[in-house]
């Protein structure tokens, strides 16, 4: 796998980490920091990007782990 996106998302009191296109690989975490660390670790493994999404839908942070930086505007 190359260039996959991982999202750490606030969800009703806990945090979920999911990989775009693979909903069956979603994991739940007790804290924001734990979920963000997991999303970054998974993105780094496959040279992808990690997004930290707040409960209101805003993207609080994102990290690119690939060879070339990307500059996209999240919707």
pLDDT at 16: 96
The token pair at 56 is 């209101």
Beta strands 49-53 and 59-64: pairing type? antiparallel
- pLDDT of 1 above 60: no
Q: Where are the alpha helices (DSSP H) in 1-75?
A: 32-45
15 CB neighbour count, 10 Å cutoff: 24
pLDDT at 66: 79
> CA-CA distance, 72 to 34, in Å (whole number)?
25
Q: What's this model's pTM, rounded to 2 decimal places? A: 0.82
pLDDT at 39: 97
Q: What is the pLDDT of residues 18-72, one digit of tens each?
A: 998 887 889 999 999 999 999 999 999 988 999 999 989 999 999 988 776 556 6
**Domain-by-domain residue ranges, the chain?**
5-64
């Amino acid at each position: 796998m190359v260039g996959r996106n991982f999202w750490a998302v606030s969800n009703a009191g806990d945090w979920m980490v999911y990989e775009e296109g693979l909903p069956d690989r979603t994991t739940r975490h007790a804290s924001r920091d734990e979920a963000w660390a997991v999303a970054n670790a998974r993105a780094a493994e496959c040279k992808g990007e990690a997004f930290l999404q707040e409960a209101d839908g805003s993207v609080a942070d994102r990290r690119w782990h690939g060879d070339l930086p990307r500059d996209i505007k999240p919707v």
